[in-house]
Amino acid sequence: MACPPAAPSSPPRQPSVKVILAATDVSRVVDRIAHQILEKTQGAADTVLLGIPTRGAPLAKRLAARISTFEDVAVPVGVLDITLYRDDLRRHATRAIGPTQLPPGGIDGKRVVLVDDVLFSGRTVRAALDALNDLGRPASVQLAVLVDRGHRQLPIRADYVGKNIPTSLAESVKVTLAETDGLDEVKLYGGTPS
């Protein structure tokens, strides 16, 4: 690894930041997941993409747009707010709830692909599965994530992973998207400086 000479005046204990995916990488990764969804679902028939706010929602929209570019199929997109199903609801001050929007056809009998930015403990996905249970009965549920950083606390795995990032628990992964933050980027913060 190339080590640039340390700047003598650099402030001490600056937390390390590493860009894992730049904007062009994010777009390539989204394209690949779109292709994988098409491949694994044999053309994305009867498939619904549900984004988990905040950043899963724009990701789901992008995936649907890419899928329709590649194969000319319109995949319904929705938003699934999981706030009221979180297992830590009571450990924090009251959280504002967001919108849940199911596509007009609903989710009964459909193949639902949940879309989120980072897969970490798996608790968000568990909450999403509980929320789905109250909204209808999908034929099957799959999970697509931009980043899998490991450290699962529940028996949950993703069907489509943009990038696996091995992390320590001291580190944090931050995804930003153009729609919500103005810029597509995945960064790794903290931990041991590399």
Partner 1 sequence: MIRHLLSGADLDAATATQILDTAAEMATVAGREVKKLPALRGRTVVNLFYEDSTRTRISFEAAAKRLSADVINFSAKGSSVTKGESLKDTALTLQAMGADAVVVRHPASGAPHRLANWVDGSVVNAGDGTHEHPTQALLDAYTMRSRLGRLAGLHVAIVGDVLHSRVARSNVLLLSTLGAKVTLVGPPTLIPVDISAALAPGTDVSYDLDTVLPGVDVVMMLRVQRERMGDSYFPSAREYARRYGLDGPRLRRLPEHAIVMHPGPMNRGMEITPEVADSPRSTIVEQVANGVSVRMAVLYLLLGGNNL
Q: Give the binding site for partner 1 (CB under 8 A).
A: 81, 84-85, 89-100, 130, 133-136
**Cβ–Cβ contacts within 10 Å for residue 85, how many?**
19
Q: Which is nearer to partner 1, 17 or 154 (CB)?
A: 154
Q: Which is nearer to partner 1, 107 or 173 (CB)?
A: 107
Q: How far is the CB of 95 from partner 1 (least distance, A)?
A: 7
Is there a contact between 51 and 78 (Cβ–Cβ < 8 Å)? Answer: yes
Q: How far is the CB of 175 from partner 1 (least distance, A)?
A: 25
Q: How far is the CB of 88 from partner 1 (least distance, A)?
A: 10
Q: How far is the CB of 105 from partner 1 (least distance, A)?
A: 14
Rounded to an integer, what distance in angstroms lies between the CA atom of residue 133 and that of residue 137? 6
Is there a contact between 117 and 158 (Cβ–Cβ < 8 Å)? Answer: no
Q: Which is nearer to partner 1, 23 or 135 (CB)?
A: 135
Q: How far is the CB of 80 from partner 1 (least distance, A)?
A: 12
Rounded to an integer, what distance in angstroms lies between the CA atom of residue 130 and that of residue 85? 7
Q: Which is nearer to partner 1, 3 or 93 (CB)?
A: 93
Q: 């897969």: which residue's tokens?
A: 119
Q: Which is nearer to partner 1, 100 or 121 (CB)?
A: 100
Is there a contact between 84 and 148 (Cβ–Cβ < 8 Å)? Answer: no
Expressed in angstroms, the distance from the first to the final Cα of the chain is: 9
